[in-house]
A and B are shown apart, each in its own frame.
Chain A
């Protein structure tokens, strides 16, 4: 059992508050320049924006067991996971604002954040971050290191072939991979019960003869315990785990989502179950007082503000930069020279 120490609670609280404040700040920033009508193709932040407020516990509870050399793949809703994995917040924010100094030079954007310093990558296609996570686990096993890989996905993604195939591949090779399903009850407008059986997604693990566990409570401490067990199992060479965590979607699927499909009671229920408040209450029981909690919140707020302020001062990329980065090597590969062999068919005039 990996019980979180008071210091660990402080660290989780700080990252969770940072992630929440970050999403709330981006929510405001995103609307800049898009009004009076809402035009998605205008404003400071380009493109779609999928915010993760209410899903923080799933991010910190697992990622706080990870080292920089451990790999994380995240889906289209990645900010909270990136923060918990210690992705550079300033450069990530610059990327989201489409700036030249962003993590991906403005090529990727909010759904496609890549930070090799902490082995973090994304895919905007549902469940398609799972196979690369399996690949990171495979590399660790082949090289006999004890690093692990974690793939994040939503509950809607557990119906996707790429996920199911990844479970099998990870299981049959006992790979050090943890699949973390963030169950926020909604695949955009589709409630889980309409599109997925069984209700408890962690049962998918049974069919692949691997460990499966569901944390039903959106509780950072409970996720930390389950995450510690799963990451520890992977690191010790004892194979993969499927971990499903109940979280709550406090915002729309994407900015601009009218959410007309979602009953008001469901929105209220999600808002009422706040894993950050819950963790703060636990911390008070450990003797961490309100003043300290406020200090942590202030620190988080400053960090978010610094990142956003810095990002907005960064230059936009030059249009011509669009042509860079399609390849690492030159198009011709590692050489531009055709070899010459004295006795080759070509030299002999094609006579073989």
Chain B
């Protein structure tokens, strides 16, 4: 899944290491960059998002904040409008509810409402995803919620390589960027990651543009479009299906806003068969958006389509039920087989 250029790098990193490396680089390069959030200083981020930053940059620039998301996310908006480049962390994306006004009525809209006279150059980092039985208030991805509201760029990397390049771009960008990292991909000791997200990562800084999907696996038979953790589940399914003679193309969106519709369309024109896999709720979300984009642009290219997503219920706690609602590798494989028939 990594390119020859990445292989040539000669070292691999976890997604956590890659993210932190990009943040540290930007903090060294620009004194206006600072990080704030709950447990980001001494703890290093509950999901290893800030490991080691306190030691290098001190408490002025790596700030623990009160459990007051409205105040500190809003303060990030204000500091950004004053010209600084804050990175503010929402520990779990599920906590967005207590601070949504600052996120979508302030952060997301001030550039537009000011006719472009203000910019909000901040990054909102946040942990997403389930698969470890943390129940309905700590397991959501909410990709669709954030991508739906205008005014925010939204990224969700699935590998260390992408995580670093997207973080550099997020911090340097003059617009608010919501950076959604999946807990299961970070490489945390107590939450083992699959093999995929740990990739070769160049030591130097580099930027990956927003709105460019990445074809993580090429195939002629069926297109699978997905993001985050499910890139790896789709790749695993693709390996299984290859043994059955089905060649699956796996597209990692990487960015939800802007959305790379062109890459998706190109692939569907080749395969004619589309499966969209999402760890967010089924209705009014990523799956519907991708499928309708293809249908709208080129209805004739679509021979068969299916979506695999969380049914429209909150995420249940008990393992058999959580496993039932979060799409697994088998669910992806089954959907690919069904559109391939």
Out of B38, B316, B318, B324, name the residue touching A190 (CB < 8 Å): B38
A107 interface contact, C-beta 8 A: yes
A125 touches B132 (CB 8 A): no
Contact B98 A125 (CB under 8 A): yes
Q: Is B304 an interface residue (CB 8 A)?
A: no
Q: A109-131 vs B: 1/0 string, CB under 8 Å?
A: 10110000000000111111000
Could you tell me if B67 and A187 are in contact, using CB atoms closer than 8 angstroms?
Answer: yes
In the complex, chain A residues whose CB is within 8 Å of the CB of B311 = 322-323
A196–B190 Cα distance when bound, in Å, is 30
CB distance from B159 to the nearest CB of A (A): 21
Q: How far is the CB of A112 from chain B (nearest CB, A)?
A: 6
Contact pattern, A 30-56, Cβ under 8 Å of B = 1, otherwise 0 = 000000011111000011100000000
Q: Does A156 contact B (CB under 8 A)?
A: yes
Cβ < 8 Å to A, chain B residues 283-341: 311-314, 316-325
Output the residue of A41, A106, A108, A161 with the most chain B CB within 10 A: A41
In the complex, the chain A residue whose C-beta lies closest to that of B136 is A112
A160 contacts B by Cβ under 8 Å: yes
**In the bound complex, CA of A106 to CA of B71 (Å):** 35
Known: A125-B97, A127-B67, A195-B67. A38 touches B319 (CB 8 A): no
| Residue of B69, B319, B325 contacting most chain A CB atoms (<10 Å) | B319
Q: Are B39 and A188 in contact (CB under 8 A)?
A: yes
- Would you call B136 and A48 a contact (CB within 8 A)? no
Given A112-B137, A160-B98, the answer on whether A188 and B317 have CB atoms closer than 8 Å is no
Q: Closest CB-CB distance, B42 to chain A, in whole Å?
A: 4
Q: Is the CB of A261 within 8 A of B319?
A: no
Question: B317, A156: Cβ atoms under 8 Å?
Answer: no
Q: CB of A207 within 8 A of chain B? A: no
Instruction: Classify chain A's interface size.
Output: 35 or more
- Inter-chain CA distance A204–B217, complex, in Å, is 57
| Residue A326 CB within 8 A of the other chain | yes
B137 touching A123 by the CB < 8 A rule?
Answer: yes
Distance in angstroms from B332 CB to nearest chain A CB is 17
Q: Which of A171-179, A208-216, A312-320 contacts B (4 or more CB under 8 A)?
A: A312-320
**B131 at the binding interface (Cβ < 8 Å):** yes
Cβ–Cβ contact B313 & A323, under 8 A: yes
Q: Is A9 an interface residue, CB under 8 A from the partner? A: no
Q: Are B66 and A39 in contact (CB under 8 A)?
A: no
A107-B321, A189-B43, A318-B320 known; A159+B67 contact, CB < 8 A? yes
For residue A271, give the distance in angstroms from its CB to the closest CB of chain B. 21
Tell me, yes or no, whether A256 is within 8 Å of chain B by CB: yes
Q: Count residues on chain B whose CB falls below 8 Å from chain A CBs.
A: 44
Complex partner residue of A326 from B97, B313, B317, B318, CB under 8 angstroms: B313
Q: Select the residue from B71, B136, B190, B313 with max chain A CB neighbours within 10 A.
A: B190
Contact with B along A89-113 (1 / 0, CB 8 A): 0000000001110101011110110
Q: What is the distance, in angstroms, from B305's C-beta to the closest C-beta of chain A?
A: 23
Contact flags A300-322 to B (C-beta < 8 A → 1, else 0) = 00000000000000001111111
Query: Is A188's CB under 8 angstroms from B191's CB?
Result: no
Report whether B132 and A47 are in contact in the complex, using a CB–CB cutoff of 8 Å: yes
Residues on B with C-beta less than 8 A from A156 are 66-67
B67 touching A189 by the CB < 8 A rule? Answer: no
Whole-angstrom distance between the alpha carbons of A39 and B65 in the complex?
29
Contact A46 B98 (CB under 8 A): no
**Across the interface, which residues of A come within 8 angstroms of B322, CB to CB?**
46, 322
- Mask, B125-150, CB within 8 Å of A = 1, is 00000011111111000000000000
Contacts A125-B94, A159-B66, A323-B311 known; A261 to B320 CB distance under 8 Å?
no
Tell me whether B189 and A37 are in contact (CB under 8 A): yes
* Cβ 8 A contact of A124, one of B71, B131, B133, B135: B135
Known: A48-B138, A124-B135, A124-B137. A109 touches B318 (CB 8 A): yes
Chain A neighbourhood of B79, CB < 8 A: none
Asked whether A319 and B324 contact (CB < 8 A) given A41-B131, A109-B317, A256-B190, the answer is yes
Q: Which of B23-48 contact A (CB under 8 A)?
A: 38-39, 41-43, 46
Asked whether A162 is an interface residue with its Cβ less than 8 Å from the other chain, the reply is yes
User: Which residues from 49 to 65 on chain A have a C-beta closer than 8 Å to any C-beta of chain B?
Assistant: none
The reply to whether the CB of A194 lies closer than 8 angstroms to some CB of chain B is yes
Assess the B39–A189 pair: CB atoms within 8 A.
yes
Task: Contact check, B324 vs A322: say whether CB atoms are below 8 A apart.
Answer: yes
Q: Does any Cβ of B come within 8 Å of A157's Cβ?
A: yes
Per-residue A-contact encoding for B79-117, CB less than 8 Å = 1, 0 else? 000000000000000110110000000000000000000
Contact B137 A107 (CB under 8 A): no
Which chain A residue lies CB-closest to B70? A161
Q: Judge whether A98 and B98 touch: CB under 8 Å.
A: no
Q: Give residues of chain B (60-80) contacting chain A, Cβ–Cβ below 8 Å.
A: 64-71
**Once the chains bind, are B42 and A261 in contact (CB under 8 Å)?**
yes
CA distance A37 to B97 in the complex (A): 34
Q: In the complex the two chains form, is B95's CB within 8 Å of A106's CB?
A: no
CB neighbours of A195 from chain B (8 A): 64-67
Q: Which residue of B lies closest to A318 (CB)?
A: B320
Q: How far is the CA of A126 from the CA of B98 in the complex (A)?
A: 9
Choose one: A46, A104, A318, A325; the contact of B319 (CB below 8 Å).
A46
* Contact indicator per residue, chain A 16-40, by CB within 8 Å of chain B (1) or not (0): 0000000000000000000001111
CA distance A39 to B194 in the complex (A): 13
Quick check: B70 and A98 within 8 Å, CB to CB? no
Task: Report the bound CA distance from A102 to B70 in whole Å.
Answer: 35
Would you list 23 pairs from A and B whose C-beta atoms are within 8 A, ordered by A residue?
A: A37-B189, A38-B190, A40-B191, A41-B191, A46-B319, A98-B317, A98-B318, A102-B318, A109-B133, A124-B137, A125-B97, A126-B98, A159-B71, A160-B67, A161-B68, A187-B39, A189-B43, A195-B64, A195-B67, A316-B320, A319-B321, A319-B324, A322-B316
Q: Beyond A111-B138, A157-B67, A318-B320: 10 further Cβ-contacts under 8 Å?
A: A37-B189, A41-B133, A48-B138, A106-B316, A106-B321, A190-B41, A196-B66, A256-B190, A261-B42, A319-B320
The 8 closest A-B pairs by CB, nearest first: A46-B133, A109-B317, A106-B318, A98-B318, A319-B324, A159-B66, A261-B42, A41-B132
